[in-house]
Amino acid sequence: MDSDCIFCKIVRGEVPSTKVYEDGDVVAFMDIGPVVKGHTLVIPKLHYDPLMNVPEDLLQKLILVVQKIAMAQVSGLKADGVNVTQANGELAGQVVPHVHFHVIPRYKGDKHSWSCKADKYDTIEEMGGYASRINAAMREL
């Protein structure tokens, strides 16, 4: 637990939240600044950050709750689609440094839009080089 962390405070009940799910390891609650209404955050009760530091068994529990929330947004909120996003590091847009998944219901005509603009590789070999470096690093993990 991190005494200054806003999400740890939510877990401890020191900051109010609107919870949609809770078990021994995981909490899901409404994002106070919803990108689209129904936007839900899924976090571990223990303070881990970033994603790369989350133990495997806990990550499995988190992603299963993410899946259930997504399913419930489709069946319960009649979402036409769902975005699952997750940021690591300020540079990546992370504001709260306690690992969390955003689960965002999407609707035809909703006001949310991704501003991602696709870059491109100069050559197929350049792309292969990135793939090789990731693959080599994965074998060292």
Q: For binding to ligand AMP (CB under 6 A), which residues are involved?
A: 6, 15, 17, 31-33, 41, 87, 93-96
Active site residue 100: yes
Single residue of 98, 99, 103, 104 touching Zn ion by CB under 5 A: 98
Residue 24 in tokens: 């021994």
DSSP per-residue string spanning 55-109: -HHHHHHHHHHHHHHHHHHHHHS--SEEEEE---SGGGT--S-S--EEEEEE-TT
CB of 7 to Zn ion, least distance (A): 5
Min separation Cβ 135 and ligand AMP, Å: 28
Catalytic residue among 39, 47, 98, 100: 100
Backbone angles phi, psi at 82, to 5 degrees: -140, 135
Other beta carbons less than 10 A from residue 79's beta carbon: 21
C-alpha distances out from residue 13 to 75, 85, 104, Å: 29, 25, 24
Partner interacting with residue 5 (select from Zn ion, ligand AMP, none; CB below 5-8 Å by kind): Zn ion
Position among 2, 14, 22, 80 found at the interface with Zn ion (CB under 5 A):
2
Q: Evaluate whether 49 touches 98 at the Cβ level (below 8 Å).
A: yes
Q: Which CB, 2 or 126, lies closer to Zn ion?
A: 2
Contact flag: residue 8 with Zn ion (CB under 5 A):
yes
| Interaction of residue 46 with Zn ion, rule CB under 5 A | no
Query: Which sequence positions are flagged as catalytic?
Result: 100
Residues that bind Zn ion (CB under 5 A): 2, 5, 7-8, 47, 98
